[in-house]
Structure 1
Amino acid sequence: MTEPLVTIGIPTFDRPEGLRRTLGNLCAQTYRHIEIVVSDNASPGSAVRDVVDEFAANDARVSYQRHPENIGAMRNFSSLVLRARGEFFMWAADDDRWEPFFVERCVQRLVADPGLAVCQMEAQYEVDGKILFPFFFEGSPFNSYSSRSPVDRVKHLLRHVYGNLVYGVFRREALFHDGKPVTEWIGRTLNEIPMQILLASWGNIRVIPEIGLYKSAPRTVCEQAQWEQVGGRLPYWRGWRNYLTDCRSLHQYHKMVMHENFAAIDALGLDSRTAGRLRTFAAYCLFKHECLLALRWKPVGPEAPRPTAAKPVAQN
């Protein structure tokens, strides 16, 4: 029996060294039936192309596309979905790394359960791709939750938004809604919730409780992601002088995200009463999140178990 093809799309812009590490990780995946497409968003110079050509010379699964002008991050993401040939698809950031079994284990779950829209593994953050940040679970609400109700799935997603879901392995057909990539519902805020609303309406979401992804991010992003799950006092602090300005910016951002979420909910084609209730619930979840951010505090959650595996950063 032929293994299903997985298309791995790498949106990139002028980060050749990060891209080199990414390609090295992906070419070494234990799941071999993959195609890797690098989409260059009009990087200056030839450094990005040179890195791709280096890998493509030794691995026919690697290919390159270049946009003649910068089309923006989300259109670059969408272009990869439109080009994909695989039954399954994943985006890969050009500064992350993965355990060699990442694709294989996600595909196993997707094949075993046709009702899954996406499968992800737990991620451990790396501060700027160099130092491992202390691990904390983010995907626990999706370890086993399943529902046949699209509305219930969307409500569960709104309660437990998981940002790193974007870098899971998707059933490619779940990445389209009304004939368009779900990324086209992501607006100016670049917030991933509208896309995830559409995914949750398509099917269930699964996160394997084992580290498979190492996500590169600035320390402040790592600390806020940890705070979101663990609770307590948000460590990043810019002083009282900036506090009111930050709160105003926070409110404007969440207001924009709310309207983007409403657009995704309206696209689900629900009856007006159900859609109205779902919009109200989405607004409540977002307002609660905004208030906790403004307070810079949230209740401390229960102590989580230790991860299944966490390996040190590989030396280049």
Structure 2
Amino acid sequence: MLVSIGLPVYNGADVMEGVVRSVLAQQYGDVELVISDNASTDSTEELCRGLAAQDSRISYHRQPENLGMLRNFDYAIQVAKGDVFRWIGDDDRLDPTYATKCVDAFTADPRLLMVTTQISYTDTRDGVVRTQRYEEANPGFGLGSDDPAERVTELLRLLNESYLIIDPLYGMVRREPVAAMTRRNMPREDQVFATRLAMAGPWEHINEVLAERHWDIKHRGKLARRLGVPTWKGYCSTLLQCRETLFWAHAQVEDGTLTAEQYRQIRSAVRALYVRRHRQTAVRRVRKVTRMAVGRS
């Protein structure tokens, strides 16, 4: 089973050599690293070409112009050759046993669409490292369930609870069915995509820290600009996420993949996510106003 690791990068020359070494240090023997350079303007190209010349497992692709973040991510999975695939950030790391343990999980359970692992996150603001184990709310009815509605309900619970528990965008997936999914450039597209992955097949989670990421929490307006979408969409991201999720769920009802009852369950879970996020936003605003008022007194 060939494992492809996709590294989308833009101006990452100062940080990316470490992640490349991390991928090449995998104990699993059949690995390729696909680097998709989004028309970098620093020395990324020179670094990558030098690394590729040293190791035949590296496949380097330079875009003639900047494709935008999402299209560059998608390019990596499209040109990869592996049976399974994982994206990785330009300042991330993988444990040497990562690929072996994920492949073992896929081999043991042919149902699986994705294998996720526990990840440690370094907050770029304060340097604090955080991680959190995943515990199913209802054992047997979580992400490994054969019922897509149960999987989606569990995923939306996790997305609302804590970003530390699971990061679906950085799990290992079966490449062909995931590469066939079309994606829309929008705020919180990663969470919409994760929900579609939950609709598409069962997951397994390995409760062991096998990857490291640097976490940069971006303001919604700034994130929208980075994605190349209107700033107002950043401020309506929860509404847009919920609408997009239900669009794809309804499409699966129409093609017979989901039943009407499963769609109703998913719609209920989406509604719960929407309500909870708006409550969280209201609480944050009240706290902010309170701090401002106390500061003036």
Report the TM-score when normalising by structure 2: 0.79
For residue 240 of structure 1, what is the aligned residue in structure 2? none
Letter in 1 for 2:275: F
User: Do structure 1's residue 11 and structure 2's residue 8 form an aligned pair?
Assistant: yes
Whichever residue aligns with residue 135 of structure 2, its letter is S
Question: Displacement of 1:36 after TM fit?
Answer: 0.6
Partner of 1:128: 124
Aligned to 1:264: 248
- The answer on 1:203 being equivalent to 2:206 is no
Partner of 2:74: 78
Paired residue for 2:94, among 95, 98, 123?
A: 98
1:273-297 CA-to-partner distances (Å, cap 9, x unmatched) read: 6434422331222221331243149
What code does the residue aligned with 1:200 have? A
- Which of 187, 191, 194 aligns to 1:193? It is 191
Q: How many residues align?
A: 260
Give SS of 2:189's match. Answer: coil
Offset at residue 272 of structure 1 (A): 4.9
- Partner residue, 1:239: none
Aligned-pair identity in percent equals 26
Q: Deviations over 1:105-134 (max 9, x none)?
A: 111111111111111211111133994514
Partner letter of residue 122 of structure 2? E
**2:118·2:166 contact (CA, 8 Å) conserved in 1?**
no
Distance, in Å, in 1 between the alignment partners of 2:35 and 2:106 is 24
Give the aligned residue type for 2:116: Q
SS in 2 for 1:29: coil
TM-score normalised by L of structure 1: 0.74
Contact 1:129 1:216 in 2 (8 A): no
Structure 2 residue identity aligned to 1:140: E
Supply the distance in 1 between the matched residues of 2:9 and 2:166 (Cα, whole angstroms): 19
| Residue equivalent to 1:173 | 176
Distance 1:130 1:254, change over 3 A: closer
| 1:280 aligned partner, one-letter code | S
Pick from 193, 210, 213: which aligns with 2:211?
213
Within 5 Å, give how 1:51-70 maps onto structure 2: 51-70=47-66
Deviation of 1:159 after TM superposition, in Å, equals 1.9
Gaps of 5+ in 1: 222-247, 298-316
Assess if the C-alpha contact under 8 Å between 2:149 and 2:263 holds in 1.
no
Describe how 1:24-63 pairs up with structure 2 within 5 A.
24-45=21-42, 47-63=43-59
RMSD: 2.6
List alignment gaps of at least 5 residues for structure 2.
Answer: 160-164, 219-231, 286-297
The letter for the 2-side match of 1:16 is A
